[in-house]
């Protein structure tokens, strides 16, 4: 079956532009996670959804970052007024259950964002 997909795979934005990154989780997966991965670093948690509810957004670095999952499936991560420090790979992961410690997270390929 299809895994987690993300689009676009690559995005180049001028500083100050808004961007929207899309995640299509595995069908039926309850939980959805967004991570930011800087070059040469491990992924860093941004936010977590359980169905359509955003239960944890403590990792979002600023109020320029906004995520939604209105129907409990597809999710969008939006970054307003992009800055150079936003350049990174943005990873989405989904898992079938509610508890991360009981359910494997399946990662998408990521969107590489470059802010010029």
Partner 1 sequence: GESVGLHLPTLSVQEGDNSIINCAYSNSASDYFIWYKQESGKGPQFIIDIRSNMDKRQGQRVTVLLNKTVKHLSLQIAATQPGDSAVYFCAENGEGNQFYFGTGTSLTVIP
Q: What does the binding site for partner 1 look like in residue numbers (CB under 8 A)? A: 4, 31, 33, 40-45, 48, 55-56, 58-59, 91, 93, 99-101, 104-110
Query: From the CB of 81, what's the least distance to partner 1, in Å?
Result: 26
> Least distance in Å: CB of 70 to partner 1?
20
Q: Which is nearer to partner 1, 66 or 107 (CB)?
A: 107
Q: Which is nearer to partner 1, 33 or 65 (CB)?
A: 33
Distance CA 103, CA 41 (A): 24
Residue with smaller CB distance to partner 1, 58 or 84: 58
Q: How far is the CB of 106 from partner 1 (least distance, A)?
A: 8
Beta strands in 1-116 (DSSP E): 5-7, 10-13, 19-24, 31-37, 44-50, 53-56, 65-68, 75-79, 88-95, 106-107, 111-115
How many CA within 13 A on the CB side of residue 93? 21
């Amino acid at each position: 079956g299809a895994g987690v997909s993300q689009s676009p795979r690559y995005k180049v934005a001028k500083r100050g532009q808004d961007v929207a990154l899309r995640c299509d989780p595995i069908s039926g997966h309850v939980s959805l996670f967004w991570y930011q991965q800087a070059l040469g670093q491990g992924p860093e948690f941004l936010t977590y959804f359980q169905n359509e509810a955003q239960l944890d957004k403590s990792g979002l670095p600023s109020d320029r970052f906004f995520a939604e999952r209105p129907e409990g499936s597809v999710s969008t991560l939006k970054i307003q007024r992009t800055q150079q420090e936003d350049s990174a790979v943005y990873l989405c992961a989904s898992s079938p259950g509610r508890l991360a410690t009981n359910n494997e997270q399946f990662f998408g390929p990521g969107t590489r964002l470059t802010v010029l």
